[in-house]
Chains A and B, each alone.
Chain A
Amino acid sequence: MRASGARWPTYALLIGIVLVSVFPLYWSIVVSSRDQQSVGSYPPPLVPGGNLWDNVVAAYEQGNFGLALLNSTIVAGTITVSVVLTSTLAGFAFAKLRFRGRDALFGAVVATMLVPTQLAIIPLYIMVTQWFGWANDLRGVIVPALVTAFGVFFMRQYLSSAVSHELLEAGRLDGASTWRIYWNVVLPLARPGAAVLGLLTFITYWNDLFWPLILLNTQNPTVQVAIANTAGGIEVDYSLVLAGTVIATFPMVIVFLLLGRQIIGGIMQGAVKG
């Protein structure tokens, strides 16, 4: 820890950086609260106008956003539950159990974190649409993402320090099976880490574009697919396009405002132990 306190130039710089970070989102609100005419005027308007609600409603109706929001919630929610459960289980085994080949298998998990799986898009598309018949089907978006290497890695790091060997030994001496120990001892202790993993996973899959864009069409989109579809063509009405991004971003901004501390803690925790 650096103990030295900051002086005003540090604050000035940091506040400048925060302004740059926040400005594009502010700008999306400015543009989406105007009509097309004032968006296309010089100098551009720098403060929000009064049309935000009208534009959001118009974008909502044009872009199939009702279904899109529902779909994104289902997709990100299901993936989050599955990733948290499978990662906690595997993370527990890697952190606290001894078995042959453990280190090699964990090495494989770490290596797969770096494999750019989106390169396998063509066979994945063939498998999901032709073998499983999930073209334009949410199951096709969800099932390939039910486990993540990052999740296993994250929970393994978390559980190594969160669960003590003494506690596990006490469980063993009482004659509890591994499963009982997992269920009664490990899971309650895993909860804070699992919550952070859940948050990071939810954000990632709420924001995912590449795979849903390929699998889903405009009749059955996620929010990211819906906003990506609003912006094509030559005559772009930016006030409507950015109203769409406001709809897509708003839920995550709310989550971030409520749980920012946990999200930051999770990112920093994963970093140190990684």
Chain B
Amino acid sequence: MSRTALREPSSVDRRRLAEPSDRRAVWRSRLYRWDVKGSPYAYVAPFFLLFGVFGVLPLAYTALISTTAWNTRRPGSEDVSVGLDNYSALLGDDNFWNALVNTLGIGVFATVPQLLFALGIAHLLNYKLRGRLALRMGVLVPYVTSVAAVALIFNQIFARDFGLLNWLLSPFTDAPIDWRASTAASWFAVSAMVTWHWTGYNALIYLAAMQTIPYELYESAAIDGAGKWRQFWSITIPSLRPTIIFTVIVSTVGALQLFAEPFLFDTTRNHNGGSERQFQTVVLYLYQQFWTNGRYGYGAAIAWTLFVITVVIVLINFLVVRRIRSSE
């Protein structure tokens, strides 16, 4: 764009522009300078202003609240500063550690199969296909379904009495499985909801990246005697590296914030996430402390701790995934 910018008025120009009759020209040149140098800030300002107020400010304010004893049941407690006491209480809170383990466990069970399935589906969709649009739409249907609807439908499928899945499994099991009762079963059920919801979306993202891989790469590999499987590992996967990094990070952040599925899977609505808190995630625990118990200070400490954990885990994931060999 610098080519399009008007040259700045030379000193000769300035002297001439200073004549009263040329005041309009001075104004026009000032306006022009503002238009080129200043107006871009006006165009990006709405985003940064609103995001500052409703995105950044609340995060900073969370840190502040987390150092108070703020509890809506104790008037005046918002002004009581407790330093880092909420954080040290959190470190000794078994329910928090339980929620963190649940979140990480469900996160792994929901994210790893999801991304592997998505890779496989993208690979299949990358063939020359009849009915391409219909197949892609079929795979993407879960994405337009809301998490609330997904959770409620799966609630019925995973119901202990008269649920669809228990009926399908009944030839192999002695008694109907109570999918909410045990840690393993409830993690499986919640992970299934997440996987069903997001696999197709990630498959389309991988497909888009696969389509940018030049076909010649595969041809020359085939000439060198590489089979389909070998081609997939040594051409497709390395070429997808940036996309895989992107999807891993996005899914990790999403998994650590998991809320709606366990919230709705727990039909008692006491937000314990099961009788023994077996599927209470950190955000569900945060919601319980904040919403049910009115513990703003403690809830804010949970939020900031999860924020830090998220950043750390994303960085670890990034470093690990980056080690995928890049394409030559």
A residues contacting B by CB (< 8 A) are 1-6, 10-11, 13-15, 17-18, 20-22, 24-25, 27-28, 31, 39-44, 86-87, 89-90, 92-94, 96-99, 102, 105, 108-109, 112, 114-127, 143-147, 149, 152, 165, 168-169, 172-173, 177-179, 182, 203, 206-207, 209-210, 214, 224, 227-228, 230-234, 236, 238, 241-242, 244-245, 248-249, 252-253, 255-257, 260-261, 263-264, 267-269, 271-272, 274
Contacts and interface: CB of A to CB of B under 8 A. Distances in A.
B146 interface: yes
Given A116-B257, A253-B144, A152 B47 contact: yes
A75 B229 CA distance: 48
Given A14-B129, A90-B43, A123-B58, A245 B264 contact: no
Interface string B185-209: 0000000000010001100110111
B264 A231 contact: yes
A90 B39 CA distance: 11
Contacts of B303: 119-122
B50 interface: yes
B2 interface: yes
A260 B162 contact: no
B156 interface: yes
A264 B140 contact: yes
A18 B139 contact: yes
Interface of B: 1-4, 35-37, 39-41, 43-44, 46-48, 50-51, 54-55, 57-59, 61-62, 65, 121, 124-129, 133, 135-150, 152-157, 159, 161-162, 164, 167, 196, 200-201, 204-205, 207-212, 215, 218, 243, 246, 249-250, 253, 256-257, 259-260, 263-264, 267-269, 283, 286-287, 290-291, 296, 299-300, 303-304, 306-307, 310, 314
Nearest to A30: B164
A3 B128 contact: yes
A169 B2 CA distance: 10
Contacts of A119: 59, 62, 257, 283, 286, 303-304, 306-307
B146 A206 contact: yes
